[in-house]
Structure 1
Amino acid sequence: MSQKFTGIVQFANGAAASDVTVHLFDADTLNEDDDLTVEPGISDEKGLFSLTYDKSRDLDFADIYRPYLQFSYTQHGEPHSHKVNLQPNQRVYGLPDMPPLQFIPATHGLQFVNRYPGYWIPFSVPSIPDIPSVNNIYGLCGGMLAASLDFLLADRQIPQRRRRPGRVTPLHRYLHQRQVDSLTRGSQIVRFVRWMSLPDPAVQLRTADELKKLLPNLDKGIPTPIGMVYISTKDTYQIWQNHQVLACSYVELEDGRLRILIYDPNFPRRNDIFVESWPDGNGGYLSVQRMGDKEKHTRGYFTMPYEPIVPPAILDDDTASDEKEKRSSS
């Protein structure tokens, strides 16, 4: 006798997964698994699917009934399949993949500038046009990138405040933790140091290799953090004069240049910040960062890891907490 099963399928971040074909199988120990599906389910825009199956369709008296769902879908132009055991009373099932994302810096990036007073961690705001270099100013660029991506993946609006959070606020603590996460126990600091110590031609060759990782990610709708190497150890050992930004999308210009749209926390609420790269004639890529009509020489860049987390449910958005910070430090 045919039966119906109705459920919901979601991406790994909880977003609804549409156009997913769902079959129900019975796992066999000795033979091929039995497809019990009479009519497969296809998920709608809310991830809702309904399939029809018949337990007696491929009845095998020697086996114990062990049903599972098979989800078939296309992700980034490639076919994917995912199996999940059918559980009593469970109606929501998750895929291991994230959905393609469109990250618009002015909309999805944090609205305040990456500029915090004090000596919280040894990462300052890099020397960039229109931003004075102040020694007791630090940045949380990697944390701000990660937090912005966290909110987008969780389908939540970022905090809309334009004033930077005080150091004692939950929002600042969250950004600080995500900054630490972005450096993966110091391994990314080591990468910055290694790149800083290389001569320019070697950095340009490595940038070409990193583009082979970055561009496919962007083609798939995967915003990717990149480490911007501005300086060389020939000039200074101040590693904090480098930077972290988020590559969002790219276009290839007629002259062969790549123009990569980035979210740079030093320039909030702007969609005109880019990294441009072009072949150097020796297998490498030269680069420059453009901020509107200004530019900054960039020696090269590399992709950085990102692991999503669910943003805290409550992040204090009270600007009065800045005054609280001043009182607590006095």
Structure 2
Amino acid sequence: MAAESFLPSRHGFAYTNAWPDQAAIVLRTPFGEIGVGNARGGLCGGMVFAALDHWLAGRAPGLDRPAAGEPLYRYIVDRLIDSWHVPAGVAQYYQWMSLPDGDNVISLFGRRVIAERGLGWRTVRVQWPQIKKDLDRSLPVPIGVVTVASRDPRDLGLNHQVLVYGSRSDGSRLTLQVYDPNRGRRDDVMIRVDTSAPTKPVVFDHNLGLGGRAIRGFFRVAYVPQDPG
């Protein structure tokens, strides 16, 4: 593990997640072929994984944006594919896109029964404790950020990935410090959430580069370090 704490201004890429259309790649998923890596989808997961790889290796990620075909570009694209964790990771994004924001409660024999947990509960009660364990060990955590409610697999590219490197709590108010490749080397990027009522739709405040889209929930992404070479 690197000697100093991760900070976007020191350990993030010096350029943002903006790549030419011709850089698109195609992932084969249970829902068919999905194009990522274009202007719409970006290479956010690859940049997150690659930045974390460099930090763990104690190496600077470099200042110049690589051109298509250069070793660093190919590395970021390879790590993008890793970040999708096909097929399980893609299936998780799709499942979360299809879930309600709050718990789905039904009446059964006169009793209120939870038929389906919503994204609020899954984020606050299941995912956040897992993320916190890594943060307590000073290990940044890649997370998948779900931004759309849809059953259309073509909307998978509207979701996002960022790297959580710190957190602070004020009662039930939780603030996550994140490296967002869409924002570059900014240290002020964050996600805020009130954890007090996770069974209801949870409001996530943020300043991520999502083009105005809201956050519906987030989950810990499976990550295995690689040597950036």
Q: Scaled by the length of structure 2, what TM-score is found?
A: 0.79
Give the CA deviation at 1:146: 1.0
Q: Which residue of 1 aligns with 2:223?
A: 306
* 2:5 corresponds to which of 102, 112, 118: 102
* 2:159 corresponds to which of 236, 242, 245: 242
Alpha carbons 1:113, 1:266 under 8 Å: kept: yes
**Residues 272-287 of structure 1 correspond to what in structure 2 (within 5 A)?**
272-279=188-195, 281-283=197-199, 285-287=202-204
Once structures 1 and 2 are overlaid, which stretch shifts more, 280-289 or 138-147? 280-289
Is it true that 1:257 corresponds to 2:173 in the alignment? Answer: yes
Tell me the alpha carbon deviations over residues 135-174 of structure 1, each in whole angstroms, 9 at most, x when there is no partner: 754411111111111111111112122xx32112111101
> In structure 1, how many angstroms separate the alpha carbons of the residues matched to 2:198 and 2:72?
45
Q: 5+ unaligned residues in a row in structure 2: which ranges? A: 26-34, 103-117
Identity %: 33
> SS of 1:116's equivalent?
coil
**Residues 109-120 of structure 1 correspond to what in structure 2 (within 5 A)?**
109-119=12-22, 120=24
Give the CA deviation at 1:295: 6.8
> In structure 2, how many angstroms separate the alpha carbons of the residues matched to 1:152 and 1:222?
10
**Residues 74-113 of structure 1 correspond to what in structure 2 (within 5 A)?**
98=1, 102-113=5-16
**Residues 188-199 of structure 1 correspond to what in structure 2 (within 5 A)?**
188-199=89-100
Q: Which residue of 2 aligns with 1:204?
A: 120
Q: Which residue of 2 aligns with 1:177?
A: 78
Q: Which residue of 1 aligns with 2:53?
A: 150
Q: Which residue of 2 aligns with 1:56?
A: none
More strand by percentage = 1
Alpha carbons 2:49, 2:79 under 8 Å: kept: yes
Give the CA deviation at 1:310: 1.0
Q: Which amino acid aligns with 1:183?
A: W
Give the CA deviation at 1:211: 0.6
Greater relative contact order (CA < 8 Å, ≥ 6 in sequence): 2
Q: 1:136 to 1:246 in 2, by over 3 A?
A: closer
Q: Which amino acid aligns with 1:256?
A: S
| Structure number, greater radius of gyration | 1
Q: 1:295 to 1:107 in 2, by over 3 A?
A: farther
Question: Alignment RMSD, CA only?
Answer: 2.4
Alpha carbons 1:227, 1:244 under 8 Å: kept: yes
Q: 1:220 to 1:197 in 2, by over 3 A?
A: same
Tell me the alpha carbon deviations over residues 159-205 of structure 1, each in whole angstroms, 9 at most, x when there is no partner: 122xx321121111010011111122332111100000001110111
Give the CA deviation at 1:118: 1.4
Alpha carbons 2:120, 2:198 under 8 Å: kept: no
Q: Which residue of 1 aligns with 2:134?
A: 217
More helix by percentage = 2
